[in-house]
Chain A
C-alpha cells in the first residue's frame, strides 16, 4: 500500500504515446513512477544513483537516467520506455540486431542499452564508432564485454539504412 502524502502534484505525462494524468508525490522518482504506478517494469533500477544506466528512458528525444529524475520533472513531456519500442509483434530493428548479434546475456542492462541506442540513432542515424561509444558509455554491462553490443548497434545502423527506416 502506498500511503497518501500531503505533498501531491498533478502531472500529465505521455508514456509510450498514451497521455496519463496522475496525482503523484512530488518526491517520486521517474523510475518509480514508471515501475510502480504504470507497472512498466522493463525499466530497471540497478543502482539508484545514475551509475549503471539500466534505468535509461527517452524523455522528449533525449536518453535520461530515470533514477535521478523526479517524475514531476517529466510533467508535460513525453517518455518512451522499452515497452514502447516494439508494437507487441514486430520488433524494432535495434531489438532484432541485439538478438542477432548476441548482445543479450542476462538481459538486465538490455532495456537501458536499447533506449540509449534508440535515442542516438534518432538524432544521428549513421554514427561513427566513437559516437556510439560516447552514447553508450553511461550504460554498464557486466556480461558481454560490450563487443556484441557494439556489433548490434552497427548491425542496426546498417539494416535501418538499407530499409530507409528511421529510429
Chain B
C-alpha cells in the first residue's frame, strides 16, 4: 500500500467546527425577511371520497394570503420525476388515498395563523375500505386506487439458468417465509424549505440528496425553466435515502411561485411519519435447493413489497431486493417473482441498503436453516458458497476483488466463534450473516453515469472543491478534503468543500447507492491532479521558473528539490500572470459499469463491497432477550477516512439493531401507523445500544481512489438476520417477522413447547 500523509489517518471533519458550535445552518435555521409560512391540510383517512371541501372561512382569516385546493393547482397531476413513472398528484382531488395525503395548502403571514386557517377548512369525507396488507393487496379484491385496474405498481420476473433441473437434482429443498417491516429513516432534522420567488426566478433553501433531480422536479411542477431555479443546500441533518424523493421542496416552491413571495414550510415530526417516504415492507417466500455438501444450487423467491400510494424510488428498491443478494453466492440458477403493490399509505422509498436489508433478513435466515438441516456450521455453508475476486455473480456483477472470506475469518476471530460453538451456554447464542452491496453504482439517470468535480485555487491560495453531490452527514466532505489534501499537499482542514449548490457546482445525478467514495473520490482526485498540472505548467512556462512540482503546501524545483515559494505566493503570481484567472482543475469519473438489461443483468458498479456481521445474545424463557455484542467486519478496499468509516459502521449497525428489535411502521386496519412519534417508534437510544466491534478488511480496489470502496450502506444490511440467527442458536426458535419483539419471541417459544408436548403425546 502506498505511503500516504492524510489518507487512512484519523482526521477531524472539515465541517466539524461549525457543527459543534451551533454555527452550521440547517434548513429551518434560514430566517429571511418578509417570509410567509405555509401549512398542509392532510387527510385523516387512509381512503375516502371527498364529499365537501370548503375553504372560504380559512380564506377570510386575517393574515391568510392564500388557500389552495386541487382545482387551483395548475398541472395538479404533473407532480412527477422525469424518467420514472409519473403517476401522482400535488393535491388530492376526488379521493384521498392515504393518511397524510395533501388536501389543501394554506399560506399565511405567520405559522400560527396558517395553523389556525387549517382548522377553519371544512372537509368531509365518505370513508372507503383501505388496502393495508400486502397479501390482500395482491388479491386485489379491494383497490388502493380507483384509477388503477389492480394494485400492482411494478411486476418483475427473472429467471436465470435451469431452475427446474437444479431443483430436480437437489438433495435438500427448504421453504420458508419472512416479513420485514416498513421503517422510518428517522433523520433527526425534519424537512424544512424556504423558497424565494422574485421576478420569474426561484431560489430554494432546502435539503436534498439529489440536487439536480429536485431542481428538475420543481421546474416541472412550477413551470419555470431549470435555469431560473437555484437550489442552495443547507446543512443536512441526516437523510439515509429518505431525501431522494421529498415532496416539501416542490410544494414550497410551487406556493412561492403561486403567491409571488417567500414561503417557508417546516414539517412537524408527525408529518415526518405520515407524509414522508419510509422504507418498503416486504413479505418474502423462498424455496432454496442445495446438494448434500451444502452447495447452493438454486432458489425461487416470491416477493411482495409495499410501494404505498404511488411510484417513487420504490421501483428500484424492489428490483434490488429481488436480485442483489443472489450475486453473493455461487448459485447455478435463480428464479424471482417480485411484485410492488399499491397500498393506502404514504409512498415508500429508499432507506440505507436500498431493499437489500429486507432480502438479507429472509435469505440469511434461511441459510442458517439450511445449514442446520445439513448439519453444517452457519459460517461453513457461507464460506463454501462465497465468490472470489475475478468471478462473476449470477446477475452479472464482476468482482475485481472480493474480501468476503477474509471478513468471515476476521469476524469469527473477534467473537471466538469456534470456541463458543463448542462450549454452548444455555440461553446464550451466536449468529452470523453476510452481505454484498455496490460501490459507485450507476444510480440516478439511466443515460448518465459517474460524476465530476472542480478543484479551484484562488489567488489567495485557498483551495475549494466543488461537486454537485450531497453531504448529508455521511462525511463525503471529508473524503473530498482528505483526497485534495493528499494530492495538493495542503492541510485537509484548510480545504473548503462546496456541495450541491446548483448555481456553482457541476451537475450530478444524486447521492445514493453508496457511490461517492468511488465516483466522486476519483473525480476529486483527477480534478486535483489537473489543477496541479495547470499551475506547475504556468509556473514553468509563463512565470519562467522552469520545471517545478507542488507538494507539502509549496512549490519545489523538480531537479534539486529546493523550495521555490509557498502555494499562496505561487497562486498569486500565476493568477496575476493570467489576468486574474483562478486555476480550476476539472475531474470526471465515468465508472466502468453498465445499466442492467431488462432482466436486471449487468455489472452495475465498478466495484462491490462485502461484509460479515455477527451478534451474541442472551435469551430468557419469557421471550425477553438482550443483544450482548455486535460485530461488523467489512471489505471496503482502502480506508480513506478511518474515523468516519468507523462511525458509518456504528451508525448503520445501530439502525439494523433497531430494525431487528424494536422499530416498525405497522399499519392498523384503518391504515393508521402504530407509531406516529419517536417514542412510539422506539428508535434505539444510548441506553439501548450493545457494544459494537468494527473491523475492516483492506482489499485494494483497482478502480477506487487509492484503492477505496464504499461503506455508507453495508453496515445496515445483515445485522438483523445475524441477531435472528443468534436467537435461534440460543433457544432453537425463529421469529420470521421483524422486529423480533419479546412478545413475538415468547409466542414462538410457547409454540415450540406446545409442539414438543404434542410430539411426546403422539
Contacts and interface: CB of A to CB of B under 8 A. Distances in A.
Interface of A: 1-3, 35-36, 39-49, 51-52, 54, 81-83, 85-86, 91, 95, 98-102, 104-111, 114, 133-134, 136-150
- CB-CB nearest 7 A-B residue pairs: A42-B22, A106-B473, A107-B19, A108-B237, A145-B650, A82-B22, A145-B654
Given A51-B678, A105-B473, A142-B683, A46 B22 contact: no
Interface of B: 10, 12-13, 15-26, 28-29, 31, 63, 109-110, 112-113, 185-190, 235-238, 240, 268-269, 472-475, 643-644, 646-647, 649-655, 677-679, 683, 685-687, 689, 692
A67 to B, nearest CB: 10
A46 B190 contact: yes
Nearest to A103: B647
29 contacts: A35-B29, A39-B31, A41-B22, A41-B31, A42-B21, A44-B188, A47-B269, A47-B677, A51-B269, A83-B21, A91-B17, A95-B21, A98-B16, A99-B16, A102-B644, A102-B646, A104-B13, A105-B474, A107-B16, A107-B235, A108-B238, A114-B20, A137-B685, A142-B240, A144-B650, A145-B689, A146-B685, A146-B689, A148-B650
A117 B646 CA distance: 22
B527 to A, nearest CB: 25
Contacts of B650: 144-148
Contacts of A138: 685
A147 B654 CA distance: 10
Given A91-B21, A106-B473, A143-B651, 18 more contacts: A41-B29, A43-B22, A45-B28, A46-B189, A48-B269, A49-B269, A82-B22, A91-B20, A98-B20, A101-B643, A104-B13, A105-B474, A107-B237, A108-B188, A108-B237, A110-B19, A140-B188, A148-B650
B139 to A, nearest CB: 36
Given A3-B109, A46-B188, A136-B686, A142 B22 contact: no
A47 B678 contact: yes
Contacts of B21: 42, 82-83, 85-86, 91, 95
Contacts of B643: 101-102, 148
A106 B188 contact: yes
B190 A133 contact: no
Contacts of A46: 188-190, 237, 269
Chain A contact residues: helix, strand, loop or mixed: loop
A133 B269 contact: no
Contacts of A3: 63, 109-110, 112-113
Contact of A106 (B18, B187, B646): B187
Chain B contact residues: helix, strand, loop or mixed: loop
A105 B678 CA distance: 20
A142 B188 contact: yes
Contacts of A36: 31
Given A1-B109, A144-B650, A145-B653, A104 B689 contact: no
B243 to A, nearest CB: 11
B513 to A, nearest CB: 19
A106 B237 contact: yes
Contact of A2 (B12, B13, B110): B110
A109 B22 CA distance: 10
* Listed residue (B110, B651, B686) with the most chain A CB atoms within 10 angstroms of its CB: B686
B602 to A, nearest CB: 32
Contacts of A2: 110
A99 to B, nearest CB: 5
Contacts of A107: 15-16, 18-20, 24, 235, 237, 473
Contact of B685 (A35, A43, A140): A140
Nearest to B643: A102
Contacts of B109: 1, 3
Contacts of B685: 137-140, 146
Contacts of B16: 98-99, 104, 107
Given A47-B677, A107-B237, A142 B651 contact: yes
A15 to B, nearest CB: 13
Contact of B186 (A1, A40, A142, A146): A142
A99 B17 CA distance: 7
Contacts of B655: 142
A38 to B, nearest CB: 11
Contacts of A91: 17, 20-21
Contacts of A43: 22
